[in-house]
Structure 1
Amino acid sequence: MRSFYKNVLAVALSLTTTFAFSQAHNVSSGYQKPTDPQVVENLEQWQDLKFGLFMHWGTYSQWGIVESWSLCPEDEGWTQRKLEHGATYYDYVKNYESLQQSFNPTDFNPEKWANAAKAAGMKYVVFTTKHHDGFAMFDTKESDYKITSSKSPFSTNPKADVTKAIFNSFRQDGFKIGAYFSKPDWHTEYYWWPYFPPKDRNVNYDPEKYPERWGKYKQFTFNQINELTSNYGKVDILWLDGGWVRPFKTIDQSVEWQRTIKVEQDIDMDRIGTMARKNQPGIIVVDRTVPGNWENYVTPEQAIPEHPLDIPWESCITMGDSFSYIPNDAYKPTKKIVETLVKIIARGGNYLLNIAPGPNGDFDQAAYDRLQEMSKWIDVNGTAVYSTRAAAPYHDGSFYYTQSKDGKVLNVFHLSDGEVYAAPEQFDFIVPDNFSPKELRFLGYKGKVKWSKKGNRVTVQKPKLAVDYAATIQLISK
């Protein structure tokens, strides 16, 4: 995951073509629908949830920098290093890895996060158990580069295994649990072998030339994922990042970043996925950008598809400008967050909203403020959000549509330009030709609403009601 995305444009997607995303992420083609009944059921439940919390958190929060990417020796905007943290690359890496010795987030309180997220209408959580830098936010036995190591001052805290504490707290509040895990690990000698300097984000040796070393990396990765899916209670989603670790035959040469992959990096996802399913029957596996059996849903990043997709998908988008914590981040206004949710669910997707905890172990107050404001809107409009699916005409002017899964309820959201929501004197919109409403509700308004239908157009008079962020009209069919 990369940070500091600004002015990101929505990118159109299709099911037959692979499109590049800003900052070089893409959605792979050739989606394969799962056949395991438990996975199918879990995926259906996940699609009902619509709104989730993403959290990128690690030692990098102490410097207020992009997560992991400054370790990558590529000349890209998101990989740039600050000289104050090391005059040479190797000085920088040494100082970065020494952050383990000062990482002490004593304000860590996952119950506070879970309560705020639940109030805001979030239904699942995905937490970064390990990012590309290799620092484990869980008690792995495969490495000492972890928050529970005696090298980390937080290791004496009763909640030192922050992954376990987060999963337990959110699970108690009814959330589905997702474990983000990076397939590449830039700390272990089995991926970036110290014999060679790292060249880019990829493995720095040829796995086919050194199969024994690559075999150790495959086992290292297998063991860590086995730990996460064995020792941390019910886990519903295994969210795998770092799509350059993939079979060479799956590379899409039309995607720029995939063309940088020069060697075979097959990590044996069949073995990993089978183990994860044995440990956690029905677990959703998200092997990002790698088409096949283990990409159970696709994940556009910092972008919203322009058109509905008829496969499971999720947009991961930051509340601020960055996936990782930066001081004084520019948090999106609540109106923008609501509008993003509406646009995503109208096109059939889920919204995974990222909030980055700081080095003290807490969110900025601005993030809590957004969640609290969001809770007021979701309390009124939630019935039009959850357990819905995309509905034609999906999007028409300022109106966006969802429907209940049985097709009997049509939800019509109205958005407006500007910093403050402005409702028209009357709402005039189309409905599907075969949809005959017998009842109409204006969510949040308890009185009778004046409305009429002529052909496939419905006209609704604005009730005397103050609306925050977006209005929702609910039509019930005959």
Structure 2
Amino acid sequence: MSETKDVVLEQEEQVVEAGVHHFSKEEEWVKPEDPLLLERLEWFKDQKLGLMMHWGPYSQLGLVESWALSDEDGDWSRDDIDWTDDMEHFKREYFDLNKTFNPIRFQPEEWAQMAADNGFKYFLFTTKHHDGFCMWDTHTTDYRITGKDTPFHTHKYADICRVLFDAFRAKGLGISAYFSKADWHTPYYWAPGMERGSHMWRGPSYDPHKYPWLWEKFVEFTHEQIMELLTNYGRIECLWLDAGWVREGRHGQDIRLGEVVERARQTTQPWLLSADRTVGGPYENIVTPEQTIPEHPMNIPWESCITVGNSFAFGFDDQYKSGRQLAHILLEVVSKGGNLALNVGPQPDGRLPKGAVRGIKALGEWLNTHGEGIYGTRICGPYFTKDWAFTQKQEINTVYAFRLYRNENEAVEAQVIIPYMEKVERVELIGTNDAISYQQTENGLVVDLPPSAVSGAAPITHTFKLLTRG
């Protein structure tokens, strides 16, 4: 490999490692000038909880989505490929998975109802991952869910994006459309017989500077796909763009994203937010940490995408987080100023994994009581202290203090010290709405819990409502 290619690969590793994207720094965020976009970003910051889904033919293998196709990423993405050592044969098998993908147990209305019942406010769905398989009725390629080679194409729910977007909108959820800027199936990106031969990486198989006509074909292909989604599939709140290595200045991979986003805003979706991950600049309206939570609060629009299990795609042996774990993750994210996009990977037959649903329903039950301290809130010091999380609603002079209990066997003290130093006028325990006695001290608020709050197993949280001015 040439020195130039080595430098490019080193740059790409700064964007994503082992399939996990890094996230842009707060100072790289560019505030939009359009008042409508600023209004929509405030709407986004109010929502707090989105349901994310990675789903496609790859669910049949129970493997990480797409990444095993990239030879440069094989050291981590091919651990579960135990039936062959021939990776060229594997790639052919993978790309043929559309011929057996037939999720006849898919029930979009039930998915939407589950999300609405359990506190989700928007839906983030993978319209196309890096492997190039389209989950909508695109006219740009036959490699799609409605293509004749895919057995599901005759089903009444065949246009999966359409039926999901319609079902979730009907339940009042906003729609965020995940779209990979890379496409490893189209010959405009991974062109056969080009410079790289059969040894592929996540970028194009050719140098766009040397083959500008071929790269232009890819740009046109990408723009047409994005405009299909933003023209024919109803209101979409956010275009959520993955593959941060596809960008201006990265080995010539400029897809002129601003051109297509502005066209959509001017013609069909004036409210459209854009999340151009890891790129910074005017089209990364939302910063997207992945499988992590920033160490410190960020006072910009951001969203951690974190899995209910261990992986984004469905895995046959996946282990799922409990409702307590999910609530604590949500609290850390929200108290640091972000939203949580909670990902579940549907099964190949179209069902949601029972373990994932169990955790989601437990989270929803907790939100049903404690959600007033989550939705529509903003950051408030001391933010997150491992045992405590804080949020506030300034317009009603209210601070919410959450005492987190890591497990049900943790000791619950009859008297707790809330590490909040500002003067308060009243303290209530959420779930009772009764005022409880407290003392304001130099260490914080000393609060006496009622006997009913101390007995039994430790709850997920005790949540205190602090009225800061009468």
In the superposition, the TM-score normalised over structure 2's length comes to: 0.91
Distance in 2 (CA, whole Å) between partners of 1:421 and 1:165 is 44
Matching residue of 1:470: 461
Q: Does the 8 A contact of 2:63 with 2:313 survive in 1?
A: yes
**Cα RMSD between the aligned structures?**
1.9
Matched, 1:280 2:269: yes
Q: Equivalents in 2 of 1:153, 1:19: separation in Å?
A: 36
Is it true that 1:116 corresponds to 2:114 in the alignment?
A: yes
Shift of 1:34: 1.1
Q: In 1, Cα distance between the equivalents of 2:109 and 2:299?
A: 35
CA contact (8 A) 1:142 1:220 kept: yes
CA distance in 1, matches of 2:18, 2:403: 28
Residue 459 (structure 1) aligned to one of 434, 446, 462: 446
Contact 1:415 1:421 survives alignment (8 Å): no
Write out aligned runs for 1:1-400 (5 A): 25-29=21-25, 30-80=28-78, 86-196=84-194, 197=197, 198-248=199-249, 263-278=251-266, 279-396=268-385, 398-400=387-389
8 Å CA contact 2:73–2:201 kept in 1: the answer is no
Residues of 2 paired with 1:233 and 1:402: CA distance?
34
Distance 1:405 1:227, change over 3 A: farther
Q: Tell me, what secondary structure is at the counterpart of 2:91? A: helix
Report deviation, 1:158: 1.0
8 Å Cα contact 1:85/1:92 also seen in 2: no
CA 1:419/1:272 → structure 2, altered by over 3 Å: closer, same or farther? farther
Q: Secondary structure at the match of 2:96?
A: helix
Corresponding residue of 2:5: none
Instruction: Quickly say closer, same or farther: Cα 1:340–1:83, change in 2 above 3 A.
Output: closer
Partners of 2:133 and 2:22 in 1: how far apart?
25
Aligned residue pair count: 446
**Number of the residue aligned with 1:423:** 412
Instruction: Measure how far apart 1:468 and its partner are.
Output: 3.0
Asked if 1 retains the 8 angstrom alpha-carbon contact of 2:408 and 2:459, the reply is no
2-structure distance, mates of 1:217, 1:52: 31
CA contact (8 A) 2:426 2:435 kept: no
- Partners in 2 of 1:224 and 1:24 — Cα distance? 25
Q: State the distance in 1 between where 2:238 and 2:385 align.
A: 34
More deviation, 339-348/69-78: 69-78
Contact 1:119 1:371 in 2 (8 A): no
The SS at the match of 1:74 is: helix
- How far 1:423 moved relative to its partner? 2.8
CA distance in 1, matches of 2:336, 2:80: 40
Equivalent position amino acid for 1:431 in 2: Y
CA offset digits 1:264-291 (Å, max 9, x no partner): 1011011121123122111110000001
C-alpha separation between the residues in 1 aligned to 2:310 and 2:351? 18
Cα deviation, residue 421, structure 1: 5.6
TM-score (norm 1): 0.89
Give identity over the alignment, percent.
39
Partner of 1:442: 429
Tell me the CA shift for residue 452 of structure 1: 2.3
Is the Cα contact below 8 Å between 1:21 and 1:301 reproduced in 2?
A: no
SS at match of 1:145: coil
2:6 aligns with: none
Which amino acid letter does the alignment assign opposite residue 206 of structure 2?
Answer: Y
Q: What residue ranges of structure 2 are gaps of 5+ in the alignment?
A: 1-13
SS in 2 for 1:27: coil
Distance 2:442 2:346 in 1: 51
Preserved CA contact (<8 Å) 1:85 1:95: no
Q: Distance in 1 between matches of 2:401 and 2:410?
A: 16
Could you give the per-residue CA deviations for residues 103-143 of structure 1, whole angstroms, max 9, x where no partner exists?
00011111111111122211011000000000000111000
Distance of 1:419 and 1:125 partners within structure 2: 31
Q: Is the 1:400–1:414 contact (alpha carbons within 8 Å) kept by the matching residues of 2?
A: yes
Q: Is the 8 A contact 2:20 2:290 kept in 1?
A: no
- Structure 1 residue ranges without an equivalent (≥5): 1-17, 249-260
| Structure 1 contact 131–182 (Cα < 8 Å) conserved | yes
